Amino acid sequence: MPVVADLHIHTTASDGLLSSGEVVRKALALGMSAIAITDHDTIDGISAAMNASENALPEIIPGIELSAQMDDREIHILGYYIDHAEPDLLALLKILQESRFSRTEKMVKKLNSLGYQISLGEVLDCAGKAAPGRLHVARTLVEKGYLPSESAAFNILLGYRMPGYVERYKLSPQEAIARIRAAGGVAAWAHPYLSGKDSLLTEFISYGLQGLEAYHPDQNRSQSGHYRQLAKLHRLFICGGSDFHGPGVGHTSPLAKCGLSASELSDFREYREQLLQNSEIKKKGVS
């Protein structure tokens, strides 16, 4: 069935190559009904996307992708329909953004010691107005001719436990889920296949996880079916998207390559509406 909603998109507010406005125009040209801006640890691209949406098309779902750490595994949690002006969320994101700057400085020094002559200024120029991340370091290495691609930079230098890798401040999955829900959002486990450990799902559900990313470029059709079944078993919503960062970036797929069909988007919206109704019923019961 055709994809009508891409719910995993990055912009220049984090490590994407296209601005929010460019993403919206591209989605509109593709006939998308809805997109979610899910930048890493920032909400800075959401308002611009909403302003660029013409006549509420496509629908802009305010989202975020929070990085978390559990033992030696990196876990990403997607949040949808968040209140992107919620004070506690903004305070947390400020901490996460500051940690990105300090981490980048350490990575540059580490790479310099390995013989890669790049500067912090070059990486910051690559990042533009966004907080710097590993992808910006990778792009700088490619631009200077040290490596042929961003994916090579991650595989050789910047991936987990690689020579140029530097740890940074990360949330636990429990805290990431709680922060999203406290900001009025619904929380989903991003690209669960990449964790290599489905058994974590039960624990995440106990923390308040509500959804699973069934569709992602790193998950094949069989794996997508597996996660749809898991979601159904545990009464979770399903989501999905291209993990779009821009044309020619690493291994990411084109916008709308992955995502929800019209019926799945309807189910996704219905899940949230039911939560809102239940919340209103509880409020009336308390009062």
pLDDT in tens, 77-92: 999 999 999 999 999 9
pLDDT in tens, 95-136: 999 998 999 999 999 999 999 999 999 999 999 888 898 989
Q: Which of 51-55, 66-70, 195-199, 233-237: highest mean pLDDT?
A: 233-237
For residues 106, 248, 41, 213, the Cα torsion angle rounded to the nearest 10 degrees is: -130
For residue 258, pLDDT over 80 is answered with: yes
- The mean predicted confidence, pLDDT, of the chain is 93
For residue 250, pLDDT over 80 is answered with: no
pLDDT in tens, 150-201: 889 999 999 888 999 998 888 999 999 999 999 999 999 999 999 889 999 9
Angstrom distance (rounded) from CA 72 to CA 80: 26
For residue 67, pLDDT over 80 is answered with: yes
Domains of the chain, residue spans: 5-92+173-286, 97-158
Q: How much of the chain is in helix, strand and coil states, percent to nearest 5?
A: 45, 15, 35
pLDDT of residue 282: 62
> Cα Rg for the chain, rounded, in angstroms?
19
In this prediction, residues 271-284 reach a mean pLDDT of 79
Q: Can you say whether the dihedral through the CA atoms of 65, 67, 68, 71 is positive or negative?
A: positive
Q: Which CATH superfamily is domain 5-92+173-286 in?
A: Metal-dependent hydrolases (3.20.20.140)
For residue 252, pLDDT over 70 is answered with: no
pLDDT of residue 251: 52
In this prediction, residues 224-237 reach a mean pLDDT of 97
SS3 (DSSP) at 40: strand
pLDDT of residue 8: 98
Q: Domain 97-158 classified CATH 1.10.150.650?
A: yes
CB 245 within 8 A of CB 135: yes
